[in-house]
Structure 1
Amino acid sequence: MGKLIGITADVYLGATDVINQKLMDFVPRPIVDGVLMAGGIPVGLPILPVDKVNQLIERMDGIIFSGGPDIDPSFMGEEPIPKLGVTNRNRDRFEIAMIRTAVAKKIPIFGICRGAQMIDVALGGTIYQDLGTQYSGKLIKHKQQAPGDQPTHFVRVDYNSKLYKTIGDNVFVNSRHHQAIKEVPDFFKVVATASDGVIEAIENDDASIQAVQWHPENLWRHDSQELALFSDFISRIGNPNRMESGSI
């Protein structure tokens, strides 16, 4: 059986046309397809009560934290600034519990865009609530207007990183964010930056925790380096045999 890869769901905050459903959980299809192409079995993870996290996470071999809305700054002990966008505190609380539990149980995790920021915040780091307001340097454009499957800026990758072994250096990526990682805990290494110094990727020593600021799920179909991010994440996962076939 392939490795079960949980993918955190985003939430559609309006009412859908499907039976007027509200607060619909949805998992980005490009991540699902990327996990499948990389040999994993994707499993959508809707927002659940925090007391269910242990039961849920025991069944996963690895977890991908997907993109989505802004992060509630109260989780960093901050008040919201005027340029803060839409937040979903319920999703933040659930994902923080998932991240901390996964790390405690040594379950590998991978973050994409908001997912990178969420991993950083959950483990003691901070983010910029809004780059344009709070970043002290001169910025390149991080919220592209080009189609999402087209790259728009380059990132430099640390030679002494697992990320470098996966995708190399001077990688051309897409960019859809106005928040970004600011400070990282001591056990993280910043392994990629944009030309303006904005953090684009982090990982720990064994890359069991790795996260990127861009969206590889929108690039992998025409860029083998981006597919390798999914493949290498899955290859780093052991085979703990947490459950027998048919238990889900």
Structure 2
Amino acid sequence: MATEDLSTILPRVVIVSRRSVRKNKFVDFVGEYHLDLIVNYGAVPIIVPRVSGIHMVLESFEPIHGVLLCEGEDVDPSFYESHLNSSDLTPQQLDEVRQLHSSDTAIDKEKDSIEFRLAKLCLDRNIPYLGICRGSQVLNVACGGTLYQDIETELHKKLPEDQRLAHMNYENYDGHRHLVEVVKGTPLNKWFKESLVGDDKMEMFVNSYHHQGVKQLAKRFVPMAFAPDGLIEGFYDPNNYNPDEGKFIMGLQFHPERMRKHNSDEFDYSGCPRAYQEFVKAVVSYQRKINSTSVTKPIKLDHTLLEKKRRVLVRSFSLAREIYFAKDEIHPSAESELKVGEEFLKKSSSSKFLQSNIEVSQQQETKWKEGWENSPKGNLARKIFGKMPVEQLTNLVSFYQTMGKICSQVLDLKIHGMS
């Protein structure tokens, strides 16, 4: 039994790589925690490399059954800032932010282009989308939301000191946690329900690796968690959330895949992998849904249109006969009609009927060339037929005198037999 192509069986989740410098050259990478979870729950991760120009050929990665965006530098502020919504940061403050967060503030326009195209593709087609950290910010901006360019400078300066907290700790990168309050009735509440502390506040601790975050949440989204400083740590589209039906549009500012105990692969909470589990469930359902709707529907014939096309088609082959018998010139309008025959031959050249007569076709082509080699009529025919590929010319030579009659007879039978 032939081995089936797994890409036609397992759903495909597209993930965009992040670019970094290693040994004086650029390398692309995606964190393995993401890949492991996607594979473990039954999908295939397809890595889109962050390469110049790749945003122009994203259709080459089709079919896309899900998109996971995660990790990367700051989103280019030009995507969400305007003269009506400009940054609160002064040039001096921006310089200070760039120095403090130098590894994140280098804008990557190519990665932005790739990821915003993918985000909009998901929104247009309702393809399942999971955004982690930067991926959640891309999702919010793609839907019309905005970001804080720097949380500490823009948000915390307006808060009393006891409400401020660190969202980034370079000295304790993986171990840093801060409190969040989970909103009741949201998917996040459902996933972490057994681990949430407090009867009313529904709190838990999450990791944090970011200096930017959601400033204005896009209208289509509902918050799922807030940090004590008011920053939104998770959101989703309630109108596009039903994993069993292939619906999943969500952004998480924290990294549930990396919320693991020290020197262990054990998660902080049993709900941590649920984001990936439910996301892949939606991806599987989405693949099943689009596969079920891709079945070819019966063609409904328009008999009037068929008759009109039949007459034009017969006329196109009549023109070929006119060239052979007498005419030295053909009106431009007639030349356009001849293209109809050309298109017909394109679609018909692989049919069993034409293939079975290829030998006869080649013999008649030789005879035709001998008689017309140096005649004015031959020159005229070469001019008109010169735009056609050799295969089409071969078929035309063999059947140009009879094709009109055959097409007319067959179409008459189809039209009148089905009417």
Query: TM-score by structure 1 length?
Result: 0.87
2:172 corresponds, among 146, 161, 167, to 146
What is residue 65 of structure 2 aligned with on the other side? 61
Q: How many residue pairs align between the two structures?
A: 236
Q: What is the RMSD of the two structures over their aligned residues, measured on CA atoms?
A: 2.1
Provide the rounded CA distance (Å) in 1 between the counterparts of 2:147 and 2:173: 25
**Aligned-residue offset at 1:25:** 1.9
Q: Which residue of 1 aligns with 2:183?
A: 158
Is residue 13–residue 64 contact of structure 2 (8 Å, CA) maintained in 1?
Answer: yes
Q: Percent identity?
A: 28
Tell whether 2:274 aligns with 1:228: yes
| Match in the other structure for 2:287 | 240
**Pairwise CA distance, 1:239:** 4.1
Q: CA deviation at 1:159?
A: 0.9
Compute the displacement of 1:199 (Å).
0.8
For 1:189-240, what per-residue CA distance to the aligned partner results, in whole angstroms no more than 9, with x for missing partners? 1111111111100100133211111112212632221111110111123143
Q: Which residue of 1 aligns with 2:334?
A: none
Counterpart of 1:232, as a letter, is E
CA distance in structure 2 between the partners assigned to 1:53 and 1:2 by the alignment: 19
Higher RCO (C-alpha under 8 Å, 6+ residues apart): 1
- The separation in 1 between residues aligned to 2:287 and 2:13, in whole angstroms, is 13
Which residue identity does 1:93 align to in structure 2?
Answer: S
1:58-79 deviation line (CA, Å, top 9, x unaligned): 3221111011111111111356
Match of 1:246 in 2: none
Q: Which segments of 5 or more consecutive residues in structure 2 lack a partner in the other structure?
A: 1-8, 99-104, 194-201, 242-247, 292-419
Change (3 A) 1:128 1:99: same
Please identify which structure carries the higher helix content: 2
The answer to which structure has the higher strand fraction is 1
Moved more, 59-68 or 79-88: 79-88
Amino acid aligned to 2:28: D
Q: Supply the distance in 1 between the matched residues of 2:120 and 2:48 (Cα, whole angstroms).
A: 16
Alignment check: 8 A CA contact 1:7 1:64 kept? yes
Q: CA deviation at 1:147?
A: 4.1
**Cα contact 1:39–1:231 (8 A) shared by 2:** no
| Aligned equivalent of 1:216 | 256
Tell me whether 1:203 sits opposite 2:250 in the alignment: no
Q: 2:150 aligns with which of 119, 127, 130?
A: 130
Structure with max Cα Rg: 2
CA distance in 1, matches of 2:148, 2:111: 19
User: 1:222, 1:155 → 2: CA distance?
Assistant: 21
Aligned 1:20-99 pairs, distance under 5 A? 22-47=25-50, 48-56=53-61, 58-77=62-81, 78=86, 81-82=94-95, 83-84=97-98, 85-99=105-119
Cα offset, 1:152, TM superposition: 1.2
Change (3 A) 1:123 1:53: farther
TM-score (norm 2): 0.53
Shift of 1:93: 1.5
What's the offset of the Cα at 1:103?
1.2
Q: Does the Cα contact within 8 Å between 1:65 and 1:110 map onto a contact in 2? A: yes
Partner of 2:364: none
Aligned to 2:222: 189
**Secondary structure of the structure 2 residue equivalent to 1:235:** helix
